[in-house]
Structure 1
Amino acid sequence: MDALANLLDGPRARGAFLLRSVLTPPWSVRIADLAPLTLVHMVRNDAWIRTDDGPARLLRPGGIAVIRGPEPYTVAGDRDTEPQIVIRPGQVSTDPDGDELCERMDLGVRTWGDDPGGAGGPVGESPASAVMISGTYQMRGEISSRLLSALPRVLVLSGDAWSSPLPALLSEEIVRDEPGQEVVLDRLLDLLLIAVLRTWFARPETAAPAWYAAQGDPVVGPALRLLHDDPAHPWTVAELAARTGVSRAALGRRFTDLVGEPPMAYLTGWRLALAADLLREPDSTVASVARRVGYGSPFALSSAFKRVRGVSPQQHRERTAPAS
């Protein structure tokens, strides 16, 4: 498995929050739900995505944005429109004063907004209304930490930059009320996220992580695949060099130049990123995780985890556990 495949192996939506919004202009929604990641697919009319610390990004019909949390942001029909709606933790919608809007703006199955024609489905909606579909991963454990760290705050992929049947399929499925529909929508959201990120990482202008570009190198690429295929193996620079057909010095120098850190430092980071994700699994133990990521004992994993991440594996598990 290559490094990108490992990176994209993380998304696992579990009861993700998916919503079709139908909003009449001027509209503006402040998202303060603390979610780790949200996809927004613009179906009709434009939207601006504004963060508190970056430039506004335009999302046109057919485009998809991936927005990394938990910091708040605003989605609006106009760049300067002040928010009239606030989405809070638990996907509770209120006005800016805190009065709930959920029931008042309910338009049917997974549909919400202020266009009265939207209650009758797309046929009754005003052409002036903005229509967008959002899918929100609600817990950090659903998205691997290594994936989140590789993403910009806001990623926008225009509709003409790629071709996929997934947005249309999601638009069709989101308003259905069938047995097992939640699972169908979770898997569609995962597939859409993976498809968008794979397209985005492949674009030459993308500020992708250094290891992504290094995958194409004839020496470093195979070394990365070896590390990702079997992180539990007791790798040494000497063995990696032998397997890739170069000297230890040549591999160490080339790997550091292209990836930004030596091979063993990269391996440690990869192992601990895997461990951080595995520790969120309810049945895992520090001992079982240690074995899976290449540490000889729970103590060895705990020592490395605390040295690099500043907390013990148990503290990490408690901090990332979903609220009951």
Structure 2
Amino acid sequence: MDALAGLLEGPRARGALMIRACFDPPWGVRVEDRAPLTVMLMVRGEGWVVPDDGERVLLRAGDLAVARGPGAYTCADDPATTPQALILPGGECAYPDGRLLNGSMDLGVRAWGDRLDGATVVLIGTYLMQGEISGRLLDALPPLLSLTSEEWPCPLTPLLMEEIGRDEPGQEVVLDRMLDLLVIAALRAWFSRPEAAAPAWYRALADPVVGRVLRLVQDDPAHPWTVASLAAKAGVSRAALARRFTGLVGEPPMAYLTGWRLALAADRLRDTDDTLDAIARQVGYGSAFALSSAFKRVYGVSPQEHRAGRAAWESGGGAVGRVV
């Protein structure tokens, strides 16, 4: 599995919030949705993204920003502008005093703001669901990262502008996949920068020994791997692998394997109706009991509770009351 594509390989965007926000200055929006990841692509005009913690960023036409939740931030034409709207969990939109906007800023299909031909237009894609496989990568991201049009000219902008306004069968799936592609491509560009703090396991993929072991584990987590079998595949001794792997990744090979297996299990619990026994076999545990014990030790809840949390999110209308 390609490590960066693995960011969204499990809980890919599914019913993500995709809108075209159109404003005339002065404008400001306070975002407190606690979403795991939001991407903002400035199409026209400019605007500031001001996180509660961290440096603010000015986006000009063609620039892109990625905000990692759950921290709050404000988007505005000027950092001093008072927000006119508040975005809450699930994409619900309210006035700053908490009263619901009730569609008063809707401009049509996936369009929101002042007017469609506003001076500022920004495409926004928000992942509303937590996903465990991507956790290792998300944890390595700053609260806010940005790429200028010079650093990463986005070839998807014209296509996104065309597709986001369509109202056709299957359009939500099309936009979900485009959002996945946009985020993966943006993070690939980000991690190629020398100043980007890529996670240790991501950097370790370039190592001829550790990189091979990581790919073996990621590609076939159900295999009964041991340090000895991994070392044999990599062509080194057990001691050499353990020392080299721990030095580059920050944890021993078996600890990494356990974390990867449990992340996969968490994903399958959310995204499938497979039994716990079936999931245990898929990720390399001998029984549902063994998986359940390991899962609760790491996540603090049982697999059943983890699955129930996702079901509660869906039945509670995770997408109810969205901006559009």
Q: Normalization by structure 1: what TM-score?
A: 0.90
Task: Give identity over the alignment, percent.
Answer: 65
**Contact 1:21–1:133 under 8 Å retained in 2:** yes
Once the two structures are TM-superposed, the CA of residue 110 in structure 1 deviates from its matched residue by: 1.6
Q: Any idea what the Cα deviations from partners look like across 1:248-282, whole Å, max 9, x if unmatched?
A: 11111111111001111111111111111111024
Once the two structures are TM-superposed, the CA of residue 106 in structure 1 deviates from its matched residue by: 2.0
Once the two structures are TM-superposed, the CA of residue 147 in structure 1 deviates from its matched residue by: 4.2
**Contact 1:6–1:228 under 8 Å retained in 2:** no
**1:1-324 correspondence to structure 2 within 5 Å:** 1-115=1-115, 118=116, 125-126=117-118, 129-141=119-131, 144-321=134-311, 322-324=313-315
**Structure 2 letter corresponding to 1:91:** G
**Structure 2 letter corresponding to 1:33:** D
Once the two structures are TM-superposed, the CA of residue 302 in structure 1 deviates from its matched residue by: 1.1
**Contact 1:36–1:69 under 8 Å retained in 2:** yes
**Structure 2 letter corresponding to 1:139:** M
Length, aligned pairs only? 314
Once the two structures are TM-superposed, the CA of residue 202 in structure 1 deviates from its matched residue by: 2.5
Q: Any idea what the Cα deviations from partners look like across 1:48-94, whole Å, max 9, x if unmatched?
A: 11222222122221111121223322111112222121112332322
**SS across alignment from 1:65:** strand
**Contact 1:92–1:102 under 8 Å retained in 2:** no
Once the two structures are TM-superposed, the CA of residue 141 in structure 1 deviates from its matched residue by: 4.7
**Contact 1:10–1:147 under 8 Å retained in 2:** no
Structure 2, unaligned stretches of length 5 or more? Answer: 316-324
Once the two structures are TM-superposed, the CA of residue 206 in structure 1 deviates from its matched residue by: 1.0
Measured in 2, the distance between the counterparts of 1:164 and 1:44 equals 14
Which range moves more in the overlay, 257-266 or 161-170?
A: 161-170
Measured in 2, the distance between the counterparts of 1:254 and 1:27 equals 52
**Contact 2:6–2:133 under 8 Å retained in 1:** no
**Structure 2 letter corresponding to 1:210:** A
Measured in 2, the distance between the counterparts of 1:171 and 1:283 equals 35
Measured in 1, the distance between the counterparts of 2:132 and 2:253 equals 28
The answer to which structure, 1 or 2, has the higher relative contact order (CA under 8 A, 6+ apart) is: 2
Which range moves more in the overlay, 244-253 or 1-10?
A: 1-10
Which range moves more in the overlay, 298-307 or 158-167?
A: 158-167
Measured in 2, the distance between the counterparts of 1:298 and 1:184 equals 36
Counterpart for residue 122 of structure 1: none
Measured in 1, the distance between the counterparts of 2:88 and 2:159 equals 28
C-alpha spacing 1:143/1:71, structure 2 compared with 1 (3 Å): farther
**SS across alignment from 1:280:** helix
Q: Any idea what the Cα deviations from partners look like across 1:76-126, whole Å, max 9, x if unmatched?
A: 1112222121112332322212333343222222211123xx2xxxxxx25
Once the two structures are TM-superposed, the CA of residue 37 in structure 1 deviates from its matched residue by: 1.7
Q: Any idea what the Cα deviations from partners look like across 1:208-239, whole Å, max 9, x if unmatched?
A: 10011111111111111111111111111111
Measured in 1, the distance between the counterparts of 2:224 and 2:145 equals 37
Q: Normalization by structure 2: what TM-score?
A: 0.90
**Contact 2:64–2:148 under 8 Å retained in 1:** yes
C-alpha spacing 1:152/1:47, structure 2 compared with 1 (3 Å): same
Q: Any idea what the Cα deviations from partners look like across 1:178-233, whole Å, max 9, x if unmatched?
A: 33322221221121112112222222221010011111111111111111111111
Once the two structures are TM-superposed, the CA of residue 310 in structure 1 deviates from its matched residue by: 2.0
**Structure 2 letter corresponding to 1:209:** P
**SS across alignment from 1:104:** coil
Measured in 2, the distance between the counterparts of 1:29 and 1:168 equals 25
Which range moves more in the overlay, 269-278 or 8-17?
A: 8-17
C-alpha spacing 1:63/1:24, structure 2 compared with 1 (3 Å): same
Once the two structures are TM-superposed, the CA of residue 177 in structure 1 deviates from its matched residue by: 2.4
**Structure 2 letter corresponding to 1:225:** R
Which range moves more in the overlay, 227-236 or 282-291?
A: 282-291
Once the two structures are TM-superposed, the CA of residue 290 in structure 1 deviates from its matched residue by: 0.8
Counterpart for residue 121 of structure 1: none
**Contact 1:22–1:112 under 8 Å retained in 2:** yes
Which range moves more in the overlay, 214-223 or 96-105?
A: 96-105
Measured in 2, the distance between the counterparts of 1:5 and 1:13 equals 13
Which range moves more in the overlay, 95-104 or 222-231?
A: 95-104
**Structure 2 letter corresponding to 1:31:** V
